[in-house]
Structure 1
Amino acid sequence: MRKFMLGLLPVACLFGADAPYEGQWNIFVQNEPRGRAWWLEVKGGKGRFVGAPGGGMYDIPHLSTKDGDLVFSFEGPQRRAPDEEYRAHIANGRLRGTLKAGKEYFDWTGLRAPEITEHDDGSWKPGEAVPLFNGFDLTGWKPMIPNKPLGWAVKDGALTNVAGANNLITTRRFWNYDLHAEFKVGEHSNSGIGLRGRYEVQILEDFGKPPDSHGNGALYSRIVPSVNASKPAGEWQTLDIRLVGRDVTVVLNGKKIIDKGLIEGLTAVANNPDEGAPGPFILQGDHGPVEFRKIVVTPLKK
């Protein structure tokens, strides 16, 4: 028994050292070139992260504490440079951190993810529908990434982009709602709709492929659709999304593919880490060509 306890001691010490950092953190990054937010979870001596190269949610292979600081880094495609080091400490209840990787250097600040108690429990009623696209111009939208060409225009009543365009973001912010969108993607193209500026519902040309956490209608990298309900490339498709608190329901082309799925945290599209506040919609334009011809949000209220 004594040998068994001694064997457990290093693990117990690791968990104890990590204890102040346990939980989920929403992270604002100073001077991040694409205006993106990050997300970090520390749990039981392990970690997960959104914000590394690749755009997914990744397990952290190297996580420890050094001199009281939380220190972590990645391997493979997610590693920015051989000398990569994320380092953070807690000050006044906030996670104050840095990233050093080759010539890259970022200061970042993490806030604990808030508890959101609202649920899609049948008590929410629709308000007045708000068209987000008028079919004529970009009224109500602005570029998300500063100093990058817009790359969007309205053609034949549809909002269209060119490959590598900026992301669009609404000037208005919303909390709980139903969203209806009609879209079309070409072969090998993808896009996405960011909810509250934080959670991406993926748009992808993946007709006939197995459901995937990065597939059409998925909550990107987090919730896998129950079925693939995609149409072939070049056909108009519909997305109906209901968001209440952290509960999300997705109906793709009339088929429910996510039913009140729990959103644990940010996805890679996030530019607004304040999960407790209303946020904008984001249309992803930087991957491939996509068209939208109808985007309508209906706020929900008690």
Structure 2
Amino acid sequence: MIKQFAYGLAFTGLLGFGLTSCQQGASDKNNAGQDSTAQKEEVEHNPASQTIPEESKDLLGRWDLTVDKGGKQVPSWIEIKLSGFTTLVGAWVGDSGSSRPISHIKLVDGKFSFAIPPQWEGGEGDFVIEGELAAGNLKGTITSNTGEKYTFTGVKAPYLNRTAAVSWGQPVELFNGKDLTNWKPSNENNKWVVKDGILTNEAAGANLITEQTFEDFKVSLEYRYPEGSNSGIYLRGRYEVQIEDSPKDRHPGTLYLGAVYGFLAPNEMVTKGPNEWNTMDITLVGRLVTVAINGKTVINNQEIPGITGGALDSKEGEPGPLYIQGDHGPIEFRKITLTPGK
């Protein structure tokens, strides 16, 4: 009986093994077929001929937003993109901080929504943005992570494509080496003074804004910052090129020296460091920007997608001033020369 029982177990085990092997083989073939189909579909999918779902096609693109924050109009920005067949993703810029990725935008019955974690605002919980199309524009609400609720409106951002080459006018010395002529502080907490021919922001305070506005231009700067300081130059009052004490050995990034804040990273860190005079040359034509630091081009004719945090407004189709960030830390300038495009 023991031998027969053992034999029975062995036979059953072999039979089970055989069945399992056959089932596994069939499963493998089936999975292989599915993988082959998936690979075939992936290979055959062509983004250039991507079919855009009807319900989301009018939402796609970049939008310049204006947020009513307790009666104060502040700028914001959103980009909505199609990922794959139906998933909406994008990027969002608030009135401060940098561009933030949106991993999923839900669209139900013509209304979109997404949640975004806090950045420099701090605190717990998410910001929740809800909106919809209304007569070709956007409208909606922003609920902060502290429960404050604001309304917003949005218009499609302009492409700012230039159809002809820019011709350049006569250079203008925006800093005369004597006083704040051509400039105005953003508020009463002004820390900007002129000392020995140097424009100096002595401590965190007001930003400094040109009285004149510009469209396309080239600007050349000579600047110096102390250890640990942070500032920036806003082009048309909307796009910040970062100036800060970024260590020379830091890997280039979108938040460091020479970056278009949150959007475009320089390809190299070429600062001379704190307490040294550095140069920066910026050319802005439409949305295309070129940045050179200390004679080396670190961003070459790249598109700026939208406004950066701290922008004066979101009216991207209009000329705007040059403004120097003064609310973060001290900085000095001994040259600010702007050449306008005609």
Q: Normalized against structure 1, the TM-score is what?
A: 0.85
**Does the alignment pair 1:139 with 2:181?**
yes
Could you say what the CA RMSD is over the residues aligned between the two structures, in angstroms?
A: 2.7
The match for 1:267 is 308
Could you say which structure has the larger radius of gyration?
2
Q: 1:168 to 1:106 in 2, by over 3 A?
A: farther
**Does the alignment pair 1:199 with 2:199?**
no
Q: 1:103 to 1:163 in 2, by over 3 A?
A: farther
- The number of residues matched between the two structures is 287
Runs of 5+ consecutive residues of structure 1 not aligned to the other structure:
6-11
Q: Contact conserved, 2:76 with 2:307, CA < 8 A, in 1?
A: yes
Q: 1:36 to 1:76 in 2, by over 3 A?
A: closer
Question: How far is the alpha carbon of 1:84 from its aligned partner?
Answer: 3.4
Residue number among 44, 62, 81 corresponding to 1:43 in the alignment: 81
The match for 1:186 is 226
The match for 2:58 is 20
**Does the alignment pair 1:247 with 2:288?**
yes
The match for 1:73 is 115
The match for 1:285 is 326
**Does the alignment pair 1:237 with 2:278?**
yes
- 2:236, 2:330 → 1: CA distance? 23
Residue by residue over 1:56-100, the C-alpha shift from the partner in whole angstroms, topping out at 9 and shown as x without a partner, is 111124521244222121125477663632111222222112212
- 2:72, 2:310 → 1: CA distance? 10
Question: How far is the alpha carbon of 1:36 from its aligned partner?
Answer: 4.5
- Secondary structure in structure 1 of the residue aligned to 2:69: coil
- Kindly provide the amino acid, as one letter, of the partner of residue 164 in structure 1: A
Percent identity, please.
Answer: 39
- 1:46, 1:61 → 2: CA distance? 5
Q: Contact conserved, 1:29 with 1:38, CA < 8 A, in 2?
A: yes
Higher relative contact order (CA 8 A, sep 6+): 1
More displaced, 102-111 or 169-178? 102-111
More displaced, 151-160 or 229-238? 151-160
Question: How far is the alpha carbon of 1:260 from its aligned partner?
Answer: 0.9
Residue by residue over 1:255-277, the C-alpha shift from the partner in whole angstroms, topping out at 9 and shown as x without a partner, is 11111112122111322211111
- Kindly provide the amino acid, as one letter, of the partner of residue 50 in structure 1: V
- 1:155, 1:242 → 2: CA distance? 28
- 2:231, 2:334 → 1: CA distance? 14
Question: How far is the alpha carbon of 1:16 from its aligned partner?
Answer: 4.9
Residue by residue over 1:3-23, the C-alpha shift from the partner in whole angstroms, topping out at 9 and shown as x without a partner, is x99xxxxxx9x9554333211
**Does the alignment pair 1:300 with 2:300?**
no
**Does the alignment pair 1:168 with 2:168?**
no
Q: Contact conserved, 1:191 with 1:285, CA < 8 A, in 2?
A: yes
The match for 2:21 is none
More displaced, 199-208 or 99-108? 99-108
The match for 1:8 is none
Residue number among 151, 155, 170 corresponding to 1:128 in the alignment: 170
User: Greater helix share, 1 or 2?
Assistant: 2
- 1:232, 1:35 → 2: CA distance? 37
Runs of 5+ consecutive residues of structure 2 not aligned to the other structure:
1-32, 39-49, 83-87
More displaced, 180-189 or 158-167? 158-167
Q: Normalized against structure 2, the TM-score is what?
A: 0.76
Q: 1:228 to 1:284 in 2, by over 3 A?
A: same
